[in-house]
């Protein structure tokens, strides 16, 4: 049995294509609809604020707006950008660049951070900061308008990108059928939960797969999958937590390390509060396990006190993402975990932690691999010859508004290689100057003339009004030079992310628009399914 776990489990996301590809390859699949993840967060959101569809984005303060329950990514769209991550290519702090370019850090984030992933977002906290809303708490009533809106958004996007008449007809047909199915599902699940609607939707499009909920992995009515990993942190916290933090620092420094001085655990609980599921963090305080506002004594063997947890309203206990990647593959009951290519940013840290725990003889490595499902959509498009209208950032990068699917397949790697080469060149001040001399000759010539004139005048009267005016004009042009350089860096960074779309996004409607049902089946049947281990001999 192969395990698949996904948020956003419906045909507008690669979860459906991944499961279909596995089934068509003769694999037995159990797909788990994610119901225990935090549903969303919005910087500055307050309890009671309305939900809404927004583009995924970072904020200059360090926070982010994101949603895990419902989302759609535009075809070949931009990735959300943490703008400060570009500083190595700019040779200066973002604050200095903003000042010299006549802008602000906040403005740069507002303009350049948002990606093209439209997500349902809202306030994360449920009552207080110890509890979060989870996907499994969302009702059909509150999400129905956004389900309809996201389907309409996906239709408009696909029609805009696949612009040939036959592609438009195929697109309209596919979305008409999905719209009718969605209305049936909304009626059937009126008063129910979003995740149960997702279960039904996935079952209809992946009939040969078993579909359940992710919370079943950690149900407190029985020992959770891979319980030995969770209990390791209870029995040998200092060593396990230190190795966890080492793994984060080594392979995923974008993740937050554990607060070891507070006994923070890399696991969470789903608790029932006022009859609704809420996600709570877990921590260790000597011989007591803290879950939200409650504490539970650990038994003598320092295992999970499942009976007490269950009686205390804890429905589910699971490892956070890094642990979960390991947890589900452990021991005799473990299963291979299916992920798309470029799926789960947590895998490198999970592999690092696996190696460290095994080296310390704290845990045997997983008995099952990760299975990477590669669909190669961008390459498969080369087998067709349908026009594709490029998104604006890619049009600016290539000086092309439209390309054939064949040309896209032939060219996208070259585009990323060229962009990556420029970014590498920008790391060096001399490299940046070479590019600026080539791409911004007009500005540099003006700056050189102004500076030469200013120097000549300064020899006669360094405090003259004309010298000050020339200095001001030169600084203005230098700000424009920085702005052009910054925009090129942003554009190149986005182009370098094109490989993400190899196997991610709304594979099914995009493939259908490009070549109809035969092409969809071809993409799925040609999927590459490869084992990925953690570099330990198993």
Q: Which backbone phi and psi does 138 adopt, to 5 degrees?
A: -75, 130
Does the structure show a pLDDT above 90 at 86? yes
Chain mean pLDDT for the chain:
94
Alpha carbons 85 and 254: distance in angstroms, whole number: 11
Q: Strand 29-33 to strand 210-213: parallel, antiparallel, or no bridges (unpaired)?
A: parallel
Q: Which backbone phi and psi does 23 adopt, to 5 degrees?
A: -65, -45
538 pLDDT band (50/70/90 cuts)? very low
Sheet of 528-532, strand order = 210-213, 29-33, 2-6, 337-340, 370-374, 528-532
Neighbour tally for 349: CB within 10 Å: 26
Q: Residue 211 belongs to what H/E stretch?
A: strand 210-213
Structure tokens at 32: 């788990």
From residue 419, alpha-carbon distances to 81, 394, 423, 444 in Å are 16, 11, 6, 23
Rg (CA), the chain: 26
Structure tokens at 336: 């291979």
Summarised one tens digit per residue, pLDDT across range 100-118 is 888 999 999 999 999 999 9
Closest CA to 412 of 422, 398, 399, 401: 398
Summarised one tens digit per residue, pLDDT across range 388-432 is 999 999 999 999 999 999 999 999 999 999 999 999 999 999 999
Q: Which of 33-37, 87-91, 248-252, 468-472 has the lowest mean pLDDT?
A: 468-472
Contacts of 20 (CB under 8 A, 6+ apart): 205, 206, 508, 524
Q: Which backbone phi and psi does 234 adopt, to 5 degrees?
A: -80, -35
Alpha carbons 9 and 293: distance in angstroms, whole number: 32
Q: What is the DSSP string of 133-165?
A: EBGGG-BHHHHHHHHHHHHHHHHHHHHHHB-SH
Alpha carbons 317 and 224: distance in angstroms, whole number: 7
Q: What is the DSSP string of 324-374?
A: HHHHTT-STT---EEEETT--TTHHHHHHHHHHHHHTTSSPPPSS-EEEEE
Summarised one tens digit per residue, pLDDT across range 452-508 is 777 767 676 777 777 677 777 878 888 899 999 999 999 999 999 999 999 999 999
Summarised one tens digit per residue, pLDDT across range 120-163 is 999 998 878 899 999 999 999 999 999 999 999 999 999 999 99
Does the structure show a pLDDT above 90 at 2? yes
Closest CA to 371 of 11, 9, 133, 19: 19
Closest CA to 373 of 97, 133, 19, 46: 19
**Burial label, 328 (beta-carbon count in 10 A; 0-12, 13-18, 19+):** buried
């Amino acid at each position: 049995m192969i395990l698949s776990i996904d948020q956003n489990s419906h045909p507008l996301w690669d979860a459906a294509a991944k499961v279909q590809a596995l089934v068509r390859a003769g694999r037995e699949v159990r797909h788990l609809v994610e119901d225990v993840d935090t549903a969303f967060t919005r910087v500055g959101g307050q309890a009671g604020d309305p939900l809404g569809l927004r583009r995924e984005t970072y904020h200059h303060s360090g926070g982010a707006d994101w949603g895990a329950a419902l989302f759609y990514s535009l075809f070949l769209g931009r990735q959300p950008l943490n703008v400060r991550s570009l500083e190595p290519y700019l040779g200066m702090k973002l604050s200095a660049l903003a000042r010299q370019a006549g802008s602000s850090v906040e403005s740069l984030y507002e303009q350049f951070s948002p990606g093209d992933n439209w997500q349902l977002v809202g306030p994360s906290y449920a009552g207080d900061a110890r509890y979060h809303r989870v996907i499994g708490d969302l009702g059909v009533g509150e999400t129905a308008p956004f389900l309809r809106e996201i389907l309409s958004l996906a239709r408009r996007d696909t029609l805009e990108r696949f612009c040939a008449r036959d592609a438009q007809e195929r697109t309209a047909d596919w979305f008409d059928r999905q719209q009718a199915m969605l209305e049936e599902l909304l009626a059937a699940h009126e008063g129910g939960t979003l995740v149960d609607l997702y279960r039904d939707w996935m079952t209809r499009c992946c009939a040969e797969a078993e579909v359940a909920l992710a919370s079943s992995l950690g149900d407190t009515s029985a020992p959770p999958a891979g319980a030995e990993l969770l209990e390791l942190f209870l029995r040998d916290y200092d060593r396990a937590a230190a190795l966890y933090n080492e793994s984060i620092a080594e392979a995923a420094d974008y993740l937050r390390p554990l607060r070891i001085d507070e006994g923070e655990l890399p696991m969470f609980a789903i608790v029932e509060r006022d009859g609704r599921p809420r996600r709570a963090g877990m921590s260790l305080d000597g011989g007591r396990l803290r879950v939200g506002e409650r504490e539970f004594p650990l038994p003598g063997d320092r295992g999970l006190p499942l009976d007490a947890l269950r009686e205390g309203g804890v429905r589910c206990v699971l490892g956070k993402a890094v642990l979960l990647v390991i947890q589900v593959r452990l021991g005799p009951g473990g299963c291979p975990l299916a992920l798309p290519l470029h799926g789960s940013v947590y895998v490198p840290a999970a592999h690092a932690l696996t190696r460290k725990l095994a080296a310390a003889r704290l845990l045997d490595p997983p008995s099952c691999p990760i299975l990477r499902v590669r669909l190669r959509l961008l390459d498969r498009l080369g087998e067709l010859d349908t026009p594709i209208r490029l998104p604006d950032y890619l049009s600016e990068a290539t000086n092309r508004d439209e390309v054939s699917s064949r040309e896209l397949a032939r060219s996208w790697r070259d585009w990323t290689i060229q962009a990556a080469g420029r970014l590498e060149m920008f790391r060096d001040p001399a490299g940046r100057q070479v590019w600026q001399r080539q791409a911004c000759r007009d500005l540099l010539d003006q700056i050189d003339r102004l500076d030469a004139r200013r120097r000549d005048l300064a020899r006669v009267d360094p405090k003259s009004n004309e010298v000050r005016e020339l200095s001001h004009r030169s600084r203005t042009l230098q700000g424009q030079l920085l702005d052009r350089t910054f925009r090129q860096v942003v554009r190149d960074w986005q182009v370098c992310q094109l490989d993400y779309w190899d196997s991610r996004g709304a594979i099914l409607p995009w493939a259908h628009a490009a070549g109809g049902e035969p092409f969809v089946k071809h993409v799925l049947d040609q999927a590459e399914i490869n084992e990925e281990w953690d570099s330990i001999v198993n």
